[in-house]
């Protein structure tokens, strides 16, 4: 995942529109229940007559109206050439139904992997389109709901990797929902489409907010390469006696041998690793998470190992992109439940399961 350069400048928030009325929400829920039964979620789906829908486009309805007018003219004037033109156009319309349907039928969609994103940014989902045989597929349009579509064709290749972007909302799990695959090939009179659920999810990180400075520990670096601070635990060496040193710190054995006063020097080892702690932040929950997210990004740019200590997780100090993603993931999923897996657990538990069992299923997700 590439971190945008302008990530800290403006908090984009949730840019998705929420203008649905209660009427639209009701019918959308009914439609989702029907489509979930007809097209269940799967990581790999092959399109066929059971999951491809076809319907005339506005241009197709206009074409049908034109055919009806031409047929009335042919009947009224009993004109054979007009009859021939009507039947020819009608035959073109029927043949286009077969070609439009076959331009989707036989394609296999496979969920590859997804890339996380920060709140309000575009998450990337990778999908693989593949075919069998030598059939060609042209002018295919893929898009998540209310997102920019991607056009692709399968002519010379047998598979194509596609990166689809989806505008994320709040932190936590991001489920883009069903993917629309559509085509109007060859002449645009009909539209064949389907809504497939590839069972894909990604994680949305909190938006980093620059608040406060990175936690630090006072350290002294020595030639030995160790990092420590003055203390009383481990013997480090001798130094010249200075007025004010206690009698206990005087190295009497060394004085007996050399005749010079020296003082013992003790050190306490210091953990030079950086800890990002929940208690070091201020504000509400989301403000604390945003501040920890910013600290993590800043710590990765430094040279010290860093760890995370929050109420729900504790990650040992380390470095690298993998460690950074694990840390950001822990922040993103703080007090978040995976609703998709929770609903699946409830469905498997059945209506006769007790409320306690269902609560345990939700808690373990």
Alpha helices (H) in the chain, listed in sequence order: 22-38, 58-77, 80-102, 252-258, 285-301, 321-332, 339-349, 355-363
Cα distance between residue 295 and residue 276, in whole Å:
7
Please give the model's pTM, rounded to 2 decimal places: 0.70
Q: What angle do CA 40, 52, 20 make, to 5 degrees?
A: 65
Question: How sure is the predictor about 361, in pLDDT bands with cuts at 50, 70 and 90?
Answer: very low
β-pair partners for 182: 141, 193
The whole-number pLDDT of residue 149 equals 87
Pick the residue with more confidence: 161 or 345? 161
The pLDDT assigned to 83 comes to 93
* Tens digit of each residue's pLDDT (9 = 90 or more) over 117-146: 999 888 999 999 999 888 899 999 999 877
Range of weakest confidence among 77-91, 152-166, 240-254:
240-254
SS3 label, residue 154: strand
Give the tens place of pLDDT for each residue, 91-126: 999 999 999 999 999 999 999 999 999 998 889 999
Closest among 60, 289, 87 to 192, alpha carbons compared: 60
Residue 351 or 245, more confident: 245
Q: For the residues 340-364, what does the mean pLDDT come to?
A: 38
Domain ranges across the chain: 35-205, 220-269, 274-332
User: DSSP assignment, residue 250?
Assistant: B
Q: Is the per-residue pLDDT at 17 higher than 70?
A: no
Distance CA 25, CA 23 (A): 5
With beta carbons less than 8 A apart as the criterion, state whether 238 and 269 touch.
no
Q: What is the mean pLDDT of the chain?
A: 80
- List of residues 6+ apart from 116 with CB closer than 8 A: 1, 123, 202, 203, 204, 205, 325, 328, 329, 332
Please determine, for residue 233, whether its predicted confidence score (pLDDT) is greater than 70. Answer: no
Check whether 2 has a pLDDT greater than 90.
no
Which residue in the block uniquely carries the two structure tokens 């021939």?
84
Q: Which residue has the higher pLDDT, 330 or 26?
A: 330
Query: Is the torsion defined by CA of 183, 184, 190, 191 positive or negative?
Result: positive
Q: What is the mean pLDDT of residues 41-45?
A: 92
Residue in the structure block whose two tokens are 């200075």: 242
Looking at residue 104, the DSSP 8-state letter turns out to be: T
Residue 179: which pLDDT band, with cuts at 50, 70 and 90? very high
For range 204-225, the mean pLDDT: 64
User: Which region among 211-220, 233-242, 276-285 has the lowest average model confidence (pLDDT)?
Assistant: 211-220
């Amino acid at each position: 995942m590439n971190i945008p350069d302008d990530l800290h400048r403006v908090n984009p928030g949730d840019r998705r529109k929420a203008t649905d009325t209660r009427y639209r929400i009701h019918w959308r829920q009914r439609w989702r229940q029907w489509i979930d039964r007809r097209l269940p979620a799967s990581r790999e789906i092959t399109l066929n007559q059971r999951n491809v829908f076809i319907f005339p486009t506005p241009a197709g309805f206009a074409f049908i109206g034109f055919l009806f007018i031409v047929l009335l003219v042919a009947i009224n004037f009993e004109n054979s050439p007009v009859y021939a033109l009507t039947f020819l156009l009608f035959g073109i319309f029927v043949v286009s139904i077969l070609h439009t349907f076959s331009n989707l039928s036989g394609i296999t969609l496979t969920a590859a992997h997804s890339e996380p994103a920060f709140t309000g940014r575009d998450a990337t989902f990778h999908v693989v389109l593949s075919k069998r045989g030598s059939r060609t597929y042209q002018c295919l349009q893929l898009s998540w709901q209310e997102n920019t579509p991607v056009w692709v064709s399968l002519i010379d290749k047998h598979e194509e990797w596609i990166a689809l972007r989806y505008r994320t909302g709040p932190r936590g799990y991001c489920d883009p929902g069903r993917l629309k695959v559509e085509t109007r090939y060859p002449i645009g009179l009909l539209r064949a489409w389907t809504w497939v659920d590839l069972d894909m999810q990604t994680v949305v990180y909190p938006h980093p907010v620059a608040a406060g400075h990175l936690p630090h520990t006072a350290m002294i670096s020595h030639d030995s390469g160790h990092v420590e601070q003055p203390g009383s635990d481990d013997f480090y060496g001798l130094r010249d006696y200075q007025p004010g040193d206690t009698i206990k710190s005087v190295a009497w054995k060394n004085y007996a041998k050399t005749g010079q006063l020296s003082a013992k020097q003790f050190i306490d080892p210091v953990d030079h690793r950086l800890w990002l702690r929940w208690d070091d932040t201020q504000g509400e929950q989301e403000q604390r998470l945003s501040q920890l997210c910013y600290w993590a990004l800043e710590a990765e740019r430094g040279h010290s190992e860093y760890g995370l200590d929050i109420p729900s997780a504790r990650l040992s100090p380390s470095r690298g992109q993998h460690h950074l993603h694990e840390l950001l993931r822990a922040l993103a999923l703080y007090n978040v439940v995976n609703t998709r897996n929770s609903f699946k657990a409830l469905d498997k538990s059945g209506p006769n399961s007790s409320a306690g069992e269902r609560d345990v299923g939700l808690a373990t997700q």
